[in-house]
């Protein structure tokens, strides 16, 4: 499943994982608007991802390649990077949530959360870094969550995985700083995405009442924050930037 549009050979290239909807789709559109050639992934929503790629290619005149791949599987990531000759930006957005009591969670569910949310960063960064080293530059942005810092009841696995994302970000930033590659994370609060569709109206209202901004965030705002990180001075690296309306 690939869509390709001709773009200028000097166009920067970006990979956005989990790009078929929500924050990932908003990030893909923001990067297309900046002239990036794009590789977009998701696990299952081939039609939705293909439609997004076609629209972005037509609207912004950029190359856009959709790839169905599970970022929590090493073989899928290796296959994906077999398509990518160079890379300037990596946005690790793919992830899953699990809501439930820890003692009722299966080992398979635990491994799925960890594979999708944390193992995926290892697989993608391990392949992306050599491409970035070729130019002695690059930007990696990991999408995290406020729960990675403060934890959430009934979301122990998700919170643990995002805490791992934060530590991964800080450690890799130190490792890559001498090579001119910046690694940062955006820790989102409650954003209006399908991941939160399981919440009842009453639960959403309760969450909103705790947010000083008195509203839920939008995917486009998360995308704008990612762009801000990409445009930040190269001296900014190893940071976990919170976007939560003043919640924490």
Residues serving a catalytic function are 158
Query: Strand 138-145 to strand 64-68: parallel, antiparallel, or no bridges (unpaired)?
Result: unpaired
Among positive and negative, which fits the CA dihedral 158, 159, 160, 161?
Answer: positive
Rounded Cα–Cα distance for residues 24 and 193 (Å): 10
**60: three-class secondary structure by DSSP:** helix
User: Rounded to 5 degrees, what are φ and ψ at 37?
Assistant: -75, 135
Residue 173: name the closest of 211, 145, 132 by CA.
Answer: 132
Question: C-alpha angle 209/214/217, rounded to 5°?
Answer: 110
User: Rounded to 5 degrees, what are φ and ψ at 232?
Assistant: -70, 155
What tokens were used for 204? 């959403």
User: Rounded to 5 degrees, what are φ and ψ at 129?
Assistant: -60, -45
User: Rounded to 5 degrees, what are φ and ψ at 150?
Assistant: -115, -15
Secondary structure E strands in 70-224: 89-92, 138-145, 181-188
């Amino acid at each position: 499943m690939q869509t390709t549009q001709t773009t200028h050979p000097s166009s920067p290239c970006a990979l956005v994982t989990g790009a078929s909807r929500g924050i990932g789709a908003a990030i893909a559109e923001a990067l297309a608007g900046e002239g990036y050639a794009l590789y977009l992934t998701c696990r299952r929503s081939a039609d939705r991802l293909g439609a997004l790629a076609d629209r972005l290619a037509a609207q912004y005149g950029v190359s856009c390649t959709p790839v169905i791949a599970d970022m929590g599987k090493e073989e899928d990531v290796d296959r994906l990077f077999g398509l990518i000759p160079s890379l300037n930006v990596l946005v690790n957005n793919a992830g899953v949530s699990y809501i439930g009591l820890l003692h009722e969670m299966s080992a398979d569910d635990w491994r799925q959360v960890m594979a999708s949310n944390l193992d995926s960063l290892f697989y993608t960064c391990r392949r992306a870094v050599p491409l970035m080293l070729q130019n002695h530059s690059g930007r990696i942005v990991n999408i995290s969550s406020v729960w990675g810092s403060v934890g959430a009841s009934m979301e122990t696995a998700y919170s643990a995985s995002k805490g791992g994302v934060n530590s991964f970000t800080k450690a890799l930033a130190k490792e890559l700083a001498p090579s001119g590659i910046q690694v940062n994370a955006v820790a989102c609060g409650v954003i209006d995405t399908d991941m939160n569709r399981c919440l009842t109206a009453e639960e959403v209202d309760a969450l909103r009442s705790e947010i000083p901004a008195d509203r839920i965030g939008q995917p486009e705002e998360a995308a704008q924050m990612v762009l801000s990180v990409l445009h930040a001075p190269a001296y900014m690296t190893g940071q976990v930037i919170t976007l939560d309306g003043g919640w924490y």
